[in-house]
Amino acid sequence: MNQAKTLFSIIVPTYNRPDKLAACLQSFVEIEYPREKFQVIVVNDSTEISVENTISPFQSQLNITLLTQPNSGPATARNTGSFAAEGKFLVFTDDDCTVAVDWLQNLEKRFVETPDCLIGGRTVNALPDNIYSTASQQLIDYLYSYYNAIGDRAQFFTSNNFALPAEAFQKIGGFDTTFSLAAGEDREFCDRWLHSGNAAIYAPEVIVYHSHALTLRKFWKQQFNYGRGAFLFQQIISKRGANGKLQHPSFYLNLLTYPFFHAPGFQKLLIAALFLVSQVGIAAGLFWEKNNFVEE
């Protein structure tokens, strides 16, 4: 399939989640969009765990390519996928996500209007009965309400649901592989994209469903890693001369009260408590990374 016909290259990094990956790929099969206009690139972030048996049932239904790399983290995996991409636009999602049937239709409409922009969609928690997954997604929802309040001047997207021109992605150097964890690499990419003079647009009609099952321990680890990523982010943007200081106190006050306006019944108290836990976890991760940081 040549580049002239391939509009979208969907890039999916994966690591040891074959069942989630299969569900993700099945959602691509169900997309209401011409097959010849998109390809799927799965990047297996492990040379020790095979996903060929997971991929093979979909090869007759999708234009799908499997790449394999030594375990290096999702930022490197996404870059690896981008090098093999044929599409005019790169679309990023994760192996624990499924997509709405009109996902690519809505992206195409947006790119017709703004072909040079970074476009970020909305992520919906697919595990509403899991309080930790719900709290994790509500934290992201709060960040979107803060950073993307003006849709055509958006500032931050998570990397499980955004798209941009392939040429522009390569031009600014892709994801920063300093981030070896799934934490902070999307924030840094968005900041660098805007710092380079590009625009970002929030498109809430472009929807993915996130199935990230969390326990209290996993929730803490997730937030701790976000703190580690936040420290690296601060180091990187300081080299660009940007301000890496903490947000205004109102940002944190509004964050901690957000669940009381966006969660039902007794759940709002539990989620508010988890929001507080998240801030402690982020602070712990940031200070841990700071104490172990070796400047190059």
Tell me the average pLDDT across 117-143: 97
Cβ pair 29, 62 in contact under 8 A? yes
Tell me the average pLDDT across 22-51: 96
pLDDT of 244 reads 56
pLDDT of 248 reads 79
pLDDT of 149 reads 93
Q: Report yes or no on 201 lying in a domain.
A: yes
Distances (CA, A) of 186 to 157, 181, 238, 240, 258: 7, 11, 17, 17, 23
Give the range with max mean pLDDT: 4-18, 125-139, 232-246, 279-293.
125-139
Q: Report yes or no on 39 lying in a domain.
A: yes
The model's pLDDT over 240-262, given as tens digits with 9 standing for 90+, comes to 766 556 677 889 899 999 999 98
Q: Report yes or no on 235 lying in a domain.
A: no
Q: How many domains does the chain have?
A: 1
Q: What share of the chain is helix, strand, coil (3-state, %, to 5)?
A: 50, 15, 35
Q: Report yes or no on 233 lying in a domain.
A: no
Tell me the average pLDDT across 132-155: 96
Q: Report yes or no on 165 lying in a domain.
A: yes
Residue 173 has pLDDT above 90, yes or no: yes
Mean pLDDT for all residues in the chain? 93
Tell me the average pLDDT across 271-294: 92
pTM score, two decimals? Answer: 0.93
Domain that holds residue 178: 8-215
Q: Report yes or no on 242 lying in a domain.
A: no
Tell me the average pLDDT across 263-290: 94
Tell me the average pLDDT across 136-146: 97
Comparing 241 with 93, the larger pLDDT belongs to 93
The model's pLDDT over 175-210, given as tens digits with 9 standing for 90+, comes to 999 888 888 999 999 999 999 999 999 999 999 999
Residue 296 has pLDDT above 50, yes or no: no
Listed in sequence order, the DSSP H helices in the chain are: 18-29, 52-55, 74-83, 103-113, 131-147, 166-171, 185-195, 216-239, 249-257, 259-262, 267-292
The model's pLDDT over 212-237, given as tens digits with 9 standing for 90+, comes to 999 999 999 999 999 999 999 999 98
pLDDT of 5 reads 85
Q: How large a percentage of the chain has pLDDT more than 90? A: 85
Q: Report yes or no on 135 lying in a domain.
A: yes
**CATH number of residue 75's parent domain:** 3.90.550.10
CA pair distance 195, 237, nearest whole angstrom: 10
Q: Report yes or no on 137 lying in a domain.
A: yes
